[in-house]
Structure 1
Amino acid sequence: MRKVLFLFIVLLAAQVARAQVKIQRLLTENLPNPTSIDAAAPRFSWQLTPGTGRNVMQTAYEIKVTDDAKRIVWAPGKANSDQSTFITYKGTPLTSGKKYTWQVKVWDNKGKASDWATATFQMGLLTESDWKAQWIGPGTEEAGRPSPMFRKGFATGKKIKSATAYITAHGIYEAHINGQRVGTDYLTPGYTSYNKRIQYQAYDVTNLLKSGANAVGASLGSGWYRGIYGIGTRKEIYGKDIALLMQINITYADGSTEVIGTDNTWKTSTGEVRYAEIYMGSTIDARMEQKGWATAGFDDAKWTAVSVQNYPKNVLIATANETVKKKEGFKALKILATPKGEKVIDFGQNLVGWVKFKVSGKAGDKIVISHAEVMDKAGNFYTDNLRDAKCINTFILKGGAQETFEPKFTWQGFRFIRIEGYPGDIKLEDFEAIAIYSDMPVTGTFATSNPMINQLQHNIEWGQRGNFIDIPTDCPQRDERLGWTGDAQVFSRTATYNMNVHTFFDKWMKDLALDQYKDGSVPHVIPDAFDNGKPSGGGGSAGWSDAATIIPWNMYLAYGDKDILAAQYPSMKAWVECMKGRSRNNLWNTGSHFGDWLFFTRNDDNDGTAAITSKYLIAQCFYAYSTQILVNTAKVLGNTQDVATYTKLLAEVKQAFNNEYVTANGLISSDTQTAYTLALQFDMLPENLRPQAAKRLADNVRRYGNHLTTGFLGTPYLANALSRFGYADVAFKLLLQDSYPSWLYPIKMGATTIWERWNGIHPDGTLEVPSMNSYNHYAYGAIGDWMYRTVAGIDTKADQVGYKGITIKPTIGGNFTKVDANYETPYGKVTSSWKVEGGNFVLDVVIPPNTTATVYVPTKGAGAVTEGGKPVTKSGEQVEGYTAVNVGSGNYHFSTSM
């Protein structure tokens, strides 16, 4: 009897434990346990763990924040609220460099309370006076600009409680303490508008220090700051110098503190990194390595004094976004013998990063590794499309034992490498390609029954990974790699599905606002590497400058963060006012614009359907769209005066569009896919003209044999416009088209990333002109937004953004028999998984705790819908071919006959 009673108690306890609400994914300012926060009032977020049944909602929470002495600095008590994102700290002012612990406990609508969950955050250096270190540089620089190294030996005589290293540079750095690399970040401090703000990183280095003798060191590369960068061989955009600023704040067990910072007691020299440039690659001469240079026992008698510089510190900011890290590794797949007799390795994936390899040889042996994305038609190594970028890494052996090499302070975009000077036989197992990108959490997966579409999703993801290197670049391989605003804005919503880009874009948008010109126009690239604060007529292109409004709004939709709208609102408003100022009678038909960049047109077209869209027509559409976003933002922020002002302007802008570009019968003067797409997507037309415009769009697609003809600005919205107005079947035909131009054509030609041009490789295997032909762009990958939002049907409700309110509304088509999509929202994972089998449609849905959703099940006629085997048709509402069912959190299994 006692055994039975004991077993009953154990089972009951287990059931109670399962039923108890739990908390996960605690974030401070969107980051887990950050080490440098410079927000005076940081914000806290968390998720409720799924698995506690259906319809789970948070009804209350309680937060406590304590300092490192366990003193409470904020404890507002229990709050009756379902808010679990962006809870703003309102306690005692937080102190520079101090570490804090925060706890949260929640209650749910089933009477359950969670245990306390715990996370930490550390404040950054909040004032200029917190920086005790001085900027230092090399006393003199050697010819060829080898990477300078800096070091200092020091002693600690007491037990260390904690130590934090704060580091930044003019250039990019790698730091070491006692011979160990500090952190796992690369290309730090990252790319910002350096003349206005420079990031620093903070690292917990407690375990790297020891009692007694220590040494700290850092090496620098020119990077974005002063290196060759921009288009061509421009250099020294932000300055000619290279400099280091570093300090280690040590707290001893007895409570005393000490700062070890860069100053005139440091020494400098050079070592094995003889050359390093982003575009050109690096040269490593292992014979010149100074082994142990960052250890305490190193003899630095031959090193020289550093120069102390008075560079500003009031531009320093804590790193708010995820840093660049090493990610996936790719094995070498095959060795190719080219017609020219070159030795080439294929890694099978176009990626961004570098190659690490092992080699044995004699002292002085020189190995040259070149990088390419594709092979030409004849099978030879192809680098013409790199333009002025060399993308060559050179390695000189020390000799003796086997050596391992990888480049420094550079990166390449490539699938293939050419190897010259390698001693002995090349072995595949000795080579590895390492991908790098900003360490954003992966949030989405999308897969279908069609392998080509799955490869398209793969290519979209790898286009994003390779181009999200601290900023959203246009390409990762040639002499560009710039933060083109147009590319970023068209892809920004798709980017939110693939990865959590909240902090990534928040950081970049702040640089956009800082670099915005006085008249409100926005530079073509951010940071402004072209003019660097000295506008010479650049910027202000429709669809490019609109990044100022579109990206903040997309981030708000995806993450529900009002602060990004509030921070960017002056910039958003300035851009709309700029367009207004450049317009005449609310018609914007002035200035230089890129238009529908890289659109398709047929040279032999004689039937009046050329795909050239008026740049001014496009400009007017984006003028209206940005104005609409400004109105929406003003409503969110409670700015009623601006709502009225810009609502009136919006009506006038649309009327000017119709007066100028639309006939009485609804024909748009540029009779193109892009013209109709933008007019429909941005609601430019009166409602009575929209159905015929949608038909004209669908007919245009059919005239081109179900091919698209759109460029950078039309493509992102094409499938959305077709679906919205009843032509989803046409959108699916476009998606599945595999002849040029189409999304699947590059895949047929072997693409593993998204191309810049629809015809990067021609059907006969020849390559498009090299002047502008990247094989790793992401703009055309914007179709991913439609795949997630329409095909899988995952979206946020307009009145409950950030997926607090969720819509699941899948679209059947394309002969897909199965679609699986998962998306990690701020509240947890959403799943929409549907399949068609045996005349039935089955939809499996997962809704995270603390949210609600409306699930739209495709219904033909009066077909009954069941959930978990029970009918739901009576409780569901019939909406345009769907049965709409309101649900709470949990797992659901819907089914209906087709």
Structure 2
Amino acid sequence: MRLERLRTLHRTDPVGIDRTPEFSWNIVSALHNTMQTSYRLTVDDGERVVWDSGIVHSDQQSFIEYGGSPLRSRTPYRWSVRVEDNHNGIATASAGFETAFLDDDWVGRWVESTIPRPQAEGDWGHGTQPPAVEFLRRFEIRDGFRRARLYATALGAYRPSLNGARIDDRELAPEFSVYRSRLYYQTYDVTTQLRAGDNELSVYVGDGWYLCPATRPLSHELRTMPAILFQLEVHYEDGSVETIASDGTETCRTGPVRSSDLYWGERYDETAPFGDPQPVEVIHLGYGNLVAQPIDPIRPVELLPARTVDTSPDGDVIVDFGQIIAGRVRVRIDAPAGTEVTLEHFEVRTVDGGYFNSTYAGQKDVYVSDGTPREYEPLFTFHGFRYVRVSGLPVVRAEAFTAVLLTTPKERTGFFECSDAGLNRLHENVLWSQRNNMMSIPTDCPTREKAGFTGDIQLYTPAAFVNEDVTSFLTAWLQNLAAEQRDHGVVPMTVPFTTPYERLSLTMSEQYGAEGVTGIAGWSDAAVIVPWEMYRATGNTMVLREAFASMSSWCDTIIATARDERGSCDLPEELDRHLWNTGFHFGEWLIPSQQQKNGDFETTKESAAYVAPFFGYRSIRLLADIAGILGLDDERDRYAAHAEVMRDAIQRVFMTGDELPTKLMGGYVLAFAFDLVPAERWQAYAARFVELIEANDGLLDTGFLATPYLLDVLVRIGRADLAIDLLWERRQPSWLYQVDMGATAIWENWDAIAPDGTPGVSSFDHYAFGCIDDWICREVAGIRAGVPGYKHSVIAPRTDTRLTWCSRSLLTEFGELAVRWTQDELEVVVPCNTTATVHWRGERHEVGSGSHRF
């Protein structure tokens, strides 16, 4: 037996944490039926043991909270675990973590640029953003140091360098968060870059999210100038500590980054050297909103060399990287001084192979050469693209271009392969959209919006977990969600909530007779559904406990809105007061038969009529279950009672006849998925649902909110054959239609590209409809969690599909759970400390850990 995958706060050896750690590990053993019988955790700071759990007779191996004496600030710790199993095997292993500021440790002062800063045009800048600003600080240190840490953050996106070299490869720090209450600061190990004697620290600051017009935070005290805060602490061999902190003695200047914007792009001019140093101004922002960055930093994780270069019928030179990504282009440029090279990024080409910009974000980087051959990569922007239109270079060679994928690195947990090439490509498209849209926060797309839409991630969370470990990533985002909630519990449509989306929310509220920002069904419900799905995927009750106040605040808002606002004068008050049926809602969003026009929300009203009350009930029912899991019996009973009267009202209003008062498929899907259909209506509603599919020529007609449940409901009503047909459908709308049309990521719209190849104004990199990957894992491969977190699994492959073989692995909290089946054989790998029920060829087998063949 051995121990692997030791994690602190579900990260590997994190440096710079400011919250109580939790620990986890995996057990690997060659012996079958291996179960952990006890563990012992110890934590030490190099001088003394600060926590010894003693021998704990338990099989728990994840989310074990630190229980020792208070941790000290800015201190490296080592933790060790000793595990004993039921075969009398013993294994030990250790890992590390380092704390950041746990007390009032900041002595650095915020310093701000004094360089006049012109105002950018509109929400998107259009290339009019002001130059980036470099802050400089020179200092001396003596010899004999053994450890040095730099703690830093900025208003804007910053890139630190020490003595002329970048400190590390992280990008766009301090990343995207709810700045008024959660501005991340970063911890850097600069021990090897520091030198005795003279040193120079450079902090180059572009607009980033804080200063970008389209993402500027909501605040009455919004700063408009780049600013930095840093604290360098040098630990010497003699035990002394020297601190060099920002204090107003820094200088600032502009240089070659003449403009930078996350949407429009960057202009970099090699002929514009750094200007004369200017003084900075000390500003008084305080430290109350500073939080140690709780997730791994954005990094370049993959390089894609250009595949081809060709010229379109319009004469445009286009570089093709073969794959839609989020990131930037790295290009080697050898051109005369003054040459202006323009790189315009886009996702798909026109029918005749030309340039097609499907977004109002320019996604354009401009480089001005000084005549010296150089490699250029933008500093303070990123784009969503597969292609780049290049102008300004007389000769464009593919070997000079490399696409750089940027994302928040996360451990890959899922691998899938089968006998169908189309299904394999669909899975790859899901993976790419997930990586492209999980950069700092979960976004909808990396092009025109780059926004943390709450609806997209709530429906995609199950699929996210079968592909990557997103525990720390989504935990951090939920903390931002709680910080962004209004005083009355409302969760906005995006987290973080930015000025453009606040304007949209207020406009829609006004049109629907409401005041202020109101909740949106299926979007605001992310407050409950995301932590619930995290618990189901990992067994993590900590996230339920931490998010409970946020969840209950949101559910209380639903209850109060239903009680206080009348949705229909035709309904008796005793029913209407239990239905959430007022305000603006997106409805299912992007139903194929409901042609959504830009800026026109009339088509959402029909599906919103059932989406709002159904999701209102769903959230409150889930919260009752969550309260029960947490042992909050009074809260469980209170919310369960509310859910029951809501369910009764829904049935008495929507389900009095043999069909729903809507002809949209999604109404039936959600009614069955949320257990709202009365027993006496089950057969009639199931038949009506199937009739709607058949009347639609066997094609789906569901939007964002109903699609995740579509195939499960078909299986549930006994029509798994229809579910399989829909998965393998190749006509529009369908998943494999996208694949056949050359998609390399998941489309936002089912009809993003017409059958003749004409692209629409849409995102071609939107993970929402990638929710199908979860169903493929559970139903096609047959891997299901028997209990939350896969402590017990159910393996039940569906071999009546169109596959001859299928292979799927899933890295659970306990280790690798894997299935490979053909029509003749099933192989299953069950991780240590778990059990599984295997269904194969009409027989049921109960197995423990190890490899099994049937």
TM over 0.5: yes
Is structure 2 residue 463 aligned with structure 1 residue 500? no
Larger Rg: 1
Which residue identity is paired with 1:593?
A: H
Contact 2:214 2:499 in 1 (8 A): no
Rate the CA distance shift 1:539–1:184 in 2: closer, same or farther, 3 A.
Answer: farther
- Please list, as runs of the form range in 1=range in 2, the aligned pairs for 1:877-896 lying within 5 A after superposition: 883-894=843-854
Contact 1:171 1:243 in 2 (8 A): yes
Is structure 2 residue 107 aligned with structure 1 residue 132? yes
Is structure 2 residue 401 aligned with structure 1 residue 412? no
Give 1:122's match in structure 2, choosing from 98, 123, 126. Answer: 98
Q: Secondary structure at the match of 1:785?
A: helix
Shift of 1:77: 2.0
Contact 1:139 1:305 in 2 (8 A): yes
Q: Secondary structure at the match of 1:340?
A: coil
Cα deviation digits, residues 236-258 of structure 1 (max 9, x gap)? 99431221111111100110001
2:280 aligns with: 306
Shift of 1:781: 0.8
Structure 2, unpaired ranges of 5+? 119-128, 507-515, 563-575, 596-602
Contact 1:447 1:454 in 2 (8 A): yes
Is structure 2 residue 417 aligned with structure 1 residue 433? no
Cα deviation digits, residues 684-738 of structure 1 (max 9, x gap)? 0123433442333233222222211001111111011111232111111001111
Shift of 1:531: 7.4
Give 1:102's match in structure 2, choosing from 57, 79, 83. Answer: 79
Is 318-327 or 528-537 further displaced after alignment?
528-537
Shift of 1:308: 1.3
Rate the CA distance shift 1:858–1:628 in 2: closer, same or farther, 3 A.
Answer: farther
2:546 aligns with: 567
1:802 aligns with: 789
Which residue identity is paired with 1:632?
A: D
Q: Secondary structure at the match of 1:369?
A: strand
1:72 aligns with: 49
Which residue identity is paired with 1:727?
A: R
Is structure 2 residue 767 aligned with structure 1 residue 766? no
Give 1:601's match in structure 2, choosing from 593, 598, 601. Answer: 593
Rate the CA distance shift 1:813–1:529 in 2: closer, same or farther, 3 A.
Answer: farther
Rate the CA distance shift 1:327–1:307 in 2: closer, same or farther, 3 A.
Answer: same
- Please list, as runs of the form range in 1=range in 2, the aligned pairs for 1:252-331 lying within 5 A after superposition: 252-289=236-273, 302-331=276-305
CA distance in 1, matches of 2:673, 2:716: 9
Contact 1:226 1:238 in 2 (8 A): no
Contact 1:539 1:545 in 2 (8 A): no
Give 1:628's match in structure 2, choosing from 618, 621, 632. Answer: 621
Rate the CA distance shift 1:176–1:230 in 2: closer, same or farther, 3 A.
Answer: closer
1:25 aligns with: 5
CA distance in 2, matches of 1:814, 1:48: 34
CA distance in 1, matches of 2:386, 2:431: 16
Q: Secondary structure at the match of 2:681?
A: helix
CA distance in 1, matches of 2:705, 2:89: 50
Is 807-816 or 500-509 further displaced after alignment?
807-816
Is structure 2 residue 39 aligned with structure 1 residue 61? yes
CA distance in 1, matches of 2:15, 2:83: 25
2:641 aligns with: 648
1:874 aligns with: none
Q: Secondary structure at the match of 2:326?
A: strand
Which residue identity is paired with 2:619?
A: S
Give 1:714's match in structure 2, choosing from 694, 706, 718. Answer: 706
Contact 2:214 2:500 in 1 (8 A): no
1:552 aligns with: 531
2:569 aligns with: none
Give 2:833's match in structure 1, choosing from 832, 845, 850. Answer: 850
Shift of 1:528: 0.9
Shift of 1:611: 11
Give 2:364's match in structure 1, choosing from 392, 399, 404. Answer: 392
Give 2:776's match in structure 1, choosing from 770, 783, 787. Answer: 787
CA distance in 2, matches of 1:317, 1:471: 16
Contact 2:36 2:86 in 1 (8 A): yes
2:511 aligns with: none
Cα deviation digits, residues 565-597 of structure 1 (max 9, x gap)? 111111111222211112233122211111010
Structure 1, unpaired ranges of 5+? 1-20, 291-299, 604-609, 860-882
Contact 2:218 2:497 in 1 (8 A): no
Is structure 2 residue 144 aligned with structure 1 residue 159? yes
Rate the CA distance shift 1:858–1:180 in 2: closer, same or farther, 3 A.
Answer: farther
CA distance in 2, matches of 1:750, 1:304: 52
Contact 1:23 1:46 in 2 (8 A): yes
Rate the CA distance shift 1:275–1:614 in 2: closer, same or farther, 3 A.
Answer: closer
- Please list, as runs of the form range in 1=range in 2, the aligned pairs for 1:713-752 lying within 5 A after superposition: 713-752=705-744
1:828 aligns with: 815
2:421 aligns with: 451
Which residue identity is paired with 1:682?
A: F
Give 2:690's match in structure 1, choosing from 666, 689, 698. Answer: 698
CA distance in 2, matches of 1:742, 1:367: 40
Rate the CA distance shift 1:141–1:639 in 2: closer, same or farther, 3 A.
Answer: same
CA distance in 2, matches of 1:397, 1:414: 24
CA distance in 2, matches of 1:611, 1:215: 57
Q: Secondary structure at the match of 1:738?
A: coil
CA distance in 1, matches of 2:75, 2:813: 27
Which residue identity is paired with 1:757?
A: N
CA distance in 1, matches of 2:835, 2:116: 62
2:580 aligns with: 588
Cα deviation digits, residues 458-511 of structure 1 (max 9, x gap)? 111111111111111111111x21111111111111111111111111111111
Give 1:191's match in structure 2, choosing from 157, 161, 176. Answer: 176
Is structure 2 residue 162 aligned with structure 1 residue 202? no
Contact 2:348 2:759 in 1 (8 A): no
Shift of 1:530: 3.6
2:566 aligns with: none
Q: Secondary structure at the match of 1:580?
A: helix
Cα deviation digits, residues 140-192 of structure 1 (max 9, x gap)? 23555211111222222121111111111111111011222122211111111
Rate the CA distance shift 1:821–1:306 in 2: closer, same or farther, 3 A.
Answer: same
Is structure 2 residue 503 aligned with structure 1 residue 525? no
Contact 2:180 2:219 in 1 (8 A): no
Shift of 1:518: 2.3
Q: Secondary structure at the match of 1:680?
A: helix
Rate the CA distance shift 1:237–1:807 in 2: closer, same or farther, 3 A.
Answer: farther
Contact 2:76 2:98 in 1 (8 A): yes
Contact 1:611 1:672 in 2 (8 A): no
Contact 2:113 2:225 in 1 (8 A): no
Q: Secondary structure at the match of 1:322?
A: coil
Which residue identity is paired with 2:329?
A: V
Cα deviation digits, residues 183-226 of structure 1 (max 9, x gap)? 22111111111011101111211111122222211100111101
Q: Number of residue pairs matched?
A: 814
CA distance in 2, matches of 1:733, 1:681: 20
Contact 1:229 1:235 in 2 (8 A): no
CA distance in 2, matches of 1:691, 1:892: 40
Cα deviation digits, residues 419-477 of structure 1 (max 9, x gap)? 1101x421111100111111111111122211111111111111111111111111111
CA distance in 2, matches of 1:612, 1:226: 36
CA distance in 2, matches of 1:172, 1:597: 33
Shift of 1:646: 1.6
CA distance in 1, matches of 2:690, 2:273: 64
CA distance in 2, matches of 1:858, 1:561: 34
Contact 1:228 1:234 in 2 (8 A): no
